[in-house]
Structure 1
Amino acid sequence: MSIKNKLSRMKSHIKKEEQTTPVKNIEIKGKNIPFIQQWEQENVYPYWLDQDYCLIREVSYPLDYTHGNYTFREFCHIVDEWNKVNYDHPLSAKGHQAKELFFFDTETTGLGGGTGNTIFILGYAQLRENEIVLKQHILPHPGAEVPLFNSFLENVDYTTLVTYNGKAFDWPQVKTRHTLIKEHVPKLPEFGHFDLYHGARRMWKHRLDRTKLSIVEEEILGVKRQDDIPGFLAPMIYFDFVERKNPEGMLGILKHNEIDILSLITLYTHLSYQLLRRDYNISAKETLEVGKWYAVIGQTDIAKQNLLSIQEQNKEEVLEAAFLLAKEYKREKRLEDAAELWRKIVQTYTQETKVAMVLQSLIELAKMAEHKEKNYQLALNYTQTAEQIVKHKDKLDKMMFELQKRSERLERKLQMNNRNQLFHQ
């Protein structure tokens, strides 16, 4: 059964292409490379090492090429923008040029770890001169890993790797396979690493059920794939290619991998536009997530700029931004500013507002009234309001116990205070 028939049975929506006419093998360095003419028509050429080889595909894109919502020129521009700001971020390209970012993705025979999982495509894209150059190193059969890795490592020049879940999957796989042949190929270099998967999850988990790259492409980046071969079919297609040598299925996987890599450039550009406040269509929720992200990493000033920019009509986002700002003000010992925001939350929250945020605001106000203002009645009022909220919520028994203890203490203080006032009258 041909690869087309296998695919049509497994995935009815995959477009059936015309039957490929077999091409006569040609001999290079004493070895036959099956279907070499078909490979060459797709910019794929052999790389020889001793008596074995891998295949390398190379394509280029001009900087004005649009992939999704951005051109590659905008990627270059946003790297320049990172170099102009005076704050830091895990995705900051400050100190780098656009050509130093290395967008990397692999295709493997499985999703598990360990030596049983083989990498059969090492793909990457990088700025060179005035174009984006994309290269893919292809494993023609399982015994060709030495030429595969040698071709990948001998001339590659990169400072910062950019991946999608590459820290957890792609690069550990590369290191595992490299370990098996490290005596025969160049060593793996050290580099920085931007893993965009974590940024996508942080920014859009409120909007997307899953943050798989293909979903982020369609829902966020404006990338529309056509006649794409699903990634889960890649191992089956590769094994068929190893058996039959016909490249028709592999060409579809190469195109799938190519789009993955180009989408990394678009995703890095989009995340950077949002983090640098250059995305003028950013939503209130996204602005809130940017502010929270900066707050978590201690970049307080830029966090405040984002949180304060959320408009009042976005009520829930405004309240959450107020809560985060109050936390920063408390840390800076600006208690009056913090209290003003806590009161705003307590006075205007709705059923959609996060309960923990409201309760924490009430507790902070109660503590301030008790210890700073010595207004025990006001502190008791805040505490009892919190108790009323907790009473109608499940799994908050511990908080109810703590609130009741606070109420009892405040009632004792209030009684003692009243007795003292009567005594002094």
Structure 2
Amino acid sequence: MNIKDKLKRLDPSSKEKDELQSSKQNQNKIISVLGGKLKENQEGVFFKKKEKYQLQYKHGLHSLEGIKNYEKEQFKYIFNYKKGFENRLDYRNFLFIDTETTGLAGGTGTVPFMVGLGYFTEENFIVEQLFMRDFDEEAALLEALKQMIKSYPIIVSFNGKSFDLPLIKTRLVMNRCREINYKCHLDLLHASRRVWSHLESCSLTSLEENILNITREDYLPGSEVPGLYFDYLNNNHPRALVPVFRHNLIDIVSLVTLINHLSLVHDHKSSFDLNERELFNLGKLYEKEKKMEKSINFYEKALDKTDSIYLKTKINKKLSWQYKREKKWKQALKIWNKMAENKRGGIFPYVEMAKYYEHQTREYKKAINCTKKAAAFLKEKRRIKTNYEEKKEELEHRLNRLKRKIN
């Protein structure tokens, strides 16, 4: 080391100049690789990248503008909200949100280093990605997020109720910031599980592949995202962030496709082609909501489509109960007779027919005949019936009651 270098090390102002110059070079480096801009607010500086999509842009099965066509009434059932909630909805108030974090476990040590935000304008769908280049920019990122939520008070996420929002609230507390306020939170994970619970996985990537017809080029698993961020921090390689930004961007746009798809799926008058498991799950959903007409419609469509004996039996049971509630006895009786004829459903069809003949038509001899058939079937299967004695006692009680009625 020569005299000039030694003097430079002793000069504090010179060291600060070098650090400032290095910082500017790093700023220019991330901007040159990723685009975007540095933004400043009362809490400091952070990095922001913006992407703009035309509403006609098609992502998977649907174009983005499909969100204009949803029926507000449907959202009550899609998201399992109480009556009156649908009147508060306007897609222009939706803020689609997805975070990328330093770990997937959650907890106070996990930090959201990127927050992707999507929203609609009259002509476009905009995605803004807020990013902290280092941990000292977290407060500025959170402040920018709070301001966005003020403008778009309805949050739409995928698993945001369990992961993203609790994590953001924790980080706000850690940074001594006020909590965020929003009108409601639409979590697409829970809405998706009600329709696609039969899938092996209901993750967003699984739904993209199996339902939405979305193929990710150069797919980056979410589990690899934290490692790339730490690689960027340790080695100052902004290029390591390119797939992370792309991953987050697709997550946000996929949420729009998913919400559009759910809206079509829930429309029982739609010509949209659903498989038997989707139709069956929708039948159960609307049965729970006491929307009998829609429930019956979905169950009937599911029954027409399925070749599975197991699923057909489940649908027969559900559908016959719906007919029974609606006092459509002819349709219910037809199902019970067919189940008994094909020896499907155990004692269920015999017991239901016995109830029908006893309480609706008062044909007690027919009711006795059905009860005896149920008892015979139960006896035949007694070795595999764990509740054999209980069911046997119930049938004997029914038979004795019917005999007393005849006498």
The one of 268, 283, 289 equivalent to 2:281 is 289
Structure 2 counterparts to residues 390-401 of structure 1, below 5 A = 392=381, 396-398=385-387, 400-401=388-389
The one of 171, 174, 183 equivalent to 1:177 is 171
Match in the other structure for 2:249: 258
Q: Deviations over 1:41-89 (max 9, x none)?
A: 533211224684221111011111111111112222x33xx04x58942
The answer to whether the 8 A contact 2:378-2:392 is kept is no
The one of 246, 265, 270 equivalent to 1:274 is 265
Asked if 1:97 corresponds to 2:90, the answer is yes
Q: Supply the distance in 2 between the matched residues of 1:31 and 1:300 (Cα, whole angstroms).
A: 64
For the structure 1 residues 159 and 52, does the alpha-carbon distance in structure 2 shift closer, same or farther, using more than 3 Å as the test? Answer: closer
The answer to whether the 8 A contact 2:153-2:181 is kept is no
Structure 2 counterparts to residues 185-204 of structure 1, below 5 A = 187-204=179-196
Q: Deviations over 1:95-133 (max 9, x none)?
A: 423212221111112222321111111112111121110
Range with greater deviation from structure 2 (194-203 or 245-254): 194-203
Asked if 1:109 corresponds to 2:102, the answer is yes
Q: Alignment partner of 1:190: what SS?
A: coil
Q: Supply the distance in 1 between the matched residues of 2:41 and 2:305 (Cα, whole angstroms).
A: 64
Q: Deviations over 1:197-254 (max 9, x none)?
A: 1232222232x21112111101110100111222101111111212222211112111
Match in the other structure for 1:65: 57
For the structure 1 residues 414 and 58, does the alpha-carbon distance in structure 2 shift closer, same or farther, using more than 3 Å as the test? Answer: closer
Asked if 1:161 corresponds to 2:161, the answer is no
For the structure 1 residues 36 and 345, does the alpha-carbon distance in structure 2 shift closer, same or farther, using more than 3 Å as the test? Answer: farther
For the structure 1 residues 240 and 404, does the alpha-carbon distance in structure 2 shift closer, same or farther, using more than 3 Å as the test? Answer: same
The answer to whether the 8 A contact 1:47-1:54 is kept is yes
2:277 alignment partner AA: K
Name the TM-score, length of structure 2 as normaliser.
0.81
Q: Deviations over 1:261-299 (max 9, x none)?
A: 111111111111110233522223322222221221222
Q: Alignment partner of 2:53: what SS?
A: strand
Residue identity (%): 24
Range with greater deviation from structure 2 (359-368 or 341-350): 341-350
Q: Supply the distance in 2 between the matched residues of 1:87 and 1:105 (Cα, whole angstroms).
A: 21
For the structure 1 residues 313 and 122, does the alpha-carbon distance in structure 2 shift closer, same or farther, using more than 3 Å as the test? Answer: closer
The answer to whether the 8 A contact 1:322-1:341 is kept is no
Q: Supply the distance in 2 between the matched residues of 1:104 and 1:390 (Cα, whole angstroms).
A: 58
Q: Supply the distance in 2 between the matched residues of 1:390 and 1:53 (Cα, whole angstroms).
A: 77
The answer to whether the 8 A contact 1:390-1:396 is kept is no
1:177 alignment partner AA: R
The answer to whether the 8 A contact 1:161-1:193 is kept is yes
The answer to whether the 8 A contact 1:312-1:318 is kept is no
For the structure 1 residues 402 and 218, does the alpha-carbon distance in structure 2 shift closer, same or farther, using more than 3 Å as the test? Answer: same
Q: Alignment partner of 2:297: what SS?
A: helix
Asked if 1:307 corresponds to 2:307, the answer is no
Asked if 1:142 corresponds to 2:131, the answer is no
The answer to whether the 8 A contact 1:205-1:211 is kept is yes
Q: Supply the distance in 1 between the matched residues of 2:152 and 2:171 (Cα, whole angstroms).
A: 20
Q: Supply the distance in 2 between the matched residues of 1:115 and 1:192 (Cα, whole angstroms).
A: 24
The answer to whether the 8 A contact 1:383-1:403 is kept is no
The one of 244, 249, 252 equivalent to 2:240 is 249
The one of 348, 351, 355 equivalent to 1:363 is 351
Asked if 1:323 corresponds to 2:317, the answer is yes
1:301 alignment partner AA: E
For the structure 1 residues 220 and 389, does the alpha-carbon distance in structure 2 shift closer, same or farther, using more than 3 Å as the test? Answer: farther
1:71 alignment partner AA: S
For the structure 1 residues 115 and 349, does the alpha-carbon distance in structure 2 shift closer, same or farther, using more than 3 Å as the test? Answer: farther
Number of matched pairs: 380
1:270 alignment partner AA: H
The one of 92, 102, 113 equivalent to 1:120 is 113
Name the TM-score, length of structure 1 as normaliser.
0.78
Q: Alignment partner of 1:143: what SS?
A: helix
The answer to whether the 8 A contact 1:106-1:121 is kept is yes
1:212 alignment partner AA: S
For the structure 1 residues 174 and 122, does the alpha-carbon distance in structure 2 shift closer, same or farther, using more than 3 Å as the test? Answer: same
For the structure 1 residues 95 and 48, does the alpha-carbon distance in structure 2 shift closer, same or farther, using more than 3 Å as the test? Answer: closer
Give unmatched runs, 5+ long, in structure 2.
1-17
Match in the other structure for 1:405: 393
Q: CA RMSD in A?
A: 3.2
In the TM superposition, residue 373 of structure 1 has moved relative to its aligned partner by 4.8
Match in the other structure for 2:10: none
Q: Supply the distance in 1 between the matched residues of 2:210 and 2:242 (Cα, whole angstroms).
A: 26
Q: Deviations over 1:387-425 (max 9, x none)?
A: 525854887422x2232113333454566678x4xxxxx
Structure 2 counterparts to residues 337-352 of structure 1, below 5 A = 337=330, 339-340=332-333, 342-344=335-337, 346-347=339-340, 349=342
Range with greater deviation from structure 2 (363-372 or 269-278): 363-372
Q: Supply the distance in 1 between the matched residues of 2:280 and 2:236 (Cα, whole angstroms).
A: 52
Q: Supply the distance in 1 between the matched residues of 2:275 and 2:33 (Cα, whole angstroms).
A: 45
Give unmatched runs, 5+ long, in structure 1.
1-24, 421-425
The answer to whether the 8 A contact 2:58-2:64 is kept is yes
